[in-house]
Structure 1
Amino acid sequence: ILPIVDKHFDYAKSVAQKLIENGIRVEVDYRNEKVGYKIREAQLEKVPYMLVIGDKEMENLAVAVRSRKDGDLGPMSLDDFVNKIVEEDRQKK
């Protein structure tokens, strides 16, 4: 989870908690770096999904999803993202 600035940290924490409750591994990048730098670093680490959180995402209780495989997937409600990940996991088993 990549919050853009400090004021997004609380929402990032609540997103992380919801993902953990659904059995999804998650890390929040709280470093004071530009979001572009955080995205590049996550790509180098081969993170499967990056959730970018800014003002719009906070207002709409959503996340901006970036996939390592498919690139920018755009905004998505948190529930839709959780359902997508749970379904992908179910298909792998």
Structure 2
Amino acid sequence: RRVPVMLHRAIVGSMERFIGILIENHAGAMPLWLSPVQVVVATITEAHNDYAHNVVQMLKKQGIRVESDLRNEKINRKIREHTMQKIPYIAVIGDAERDANQVAVRLRGNENLGSLPVDEFVQRLLGEINSRA
């Protein structure tokens, strides 16, 4: 007869539990610095896609995790979908924003910041990410 020996190492399992607790604690609404998608750039019509692509590239160069929503859907539907996904920032682009080199910014929770110049928006994001607020 021999005494059985069991080795147990749960590095991946404990990491999965930690992520599960983190998601549960924040109810899915992660802080900006921790959110997998930090910004979604949504266009009102297909005519704004080129400008939206430029904005997305500018944000990616700064290390911001960004996605674009260029679908041919109504903007209210896009905003609702991304709000339900608890995306921290939604940048909406229309004619006025494209012409003025700005983005209309919406925070999670339907707070509207209005139109901001793209450079100012990037600085706001980087400041919030660096402060880990």
Are 1:33 and 2:104 an aligned pair? no
Identity of aligned residues (%): 44
Residue in structure 2 matching 1:64, options 95, 99, 104: 104
* Corresponding residue for residue 117 of structure 2: 77
* RMSD across aligned positions (CA): 1.2
* Corresponding residue for residue 47 of structure 1: 87
Which has the greater radius of gyration?
2
Residue identity in the other structure for 2:123: N
Tell me by how many angstroms 1:31 deviates.
1.1
State the SS of the aligned residue for 1:51.
Answer: strand
Superposed structure 1 runs of 4+ greater than 3 Å apart: none
Specify every segment of 5 or more residues in structure 2 that has no aligned partner in the other structure, as ranges.
1-40
TM-score by length of 1: 0.96
TM-score by length of 2: 0.68
* Corresponding residue for residue 37 of structure 2: none
State the SS of the aligned residue for 1:33.
Answer: coil
Specify every segment of 5 or more residues in structure 1 that has no aligned partner in the other structure, as ranges.
none
Residue identity in the other structure for 1:8: H
State the SS of the aligned residue for 1:56.
Answer: helix
Residue identity in the other structure for 1:30: L
How many residues end up aligned between the 2 structures?
A: 93
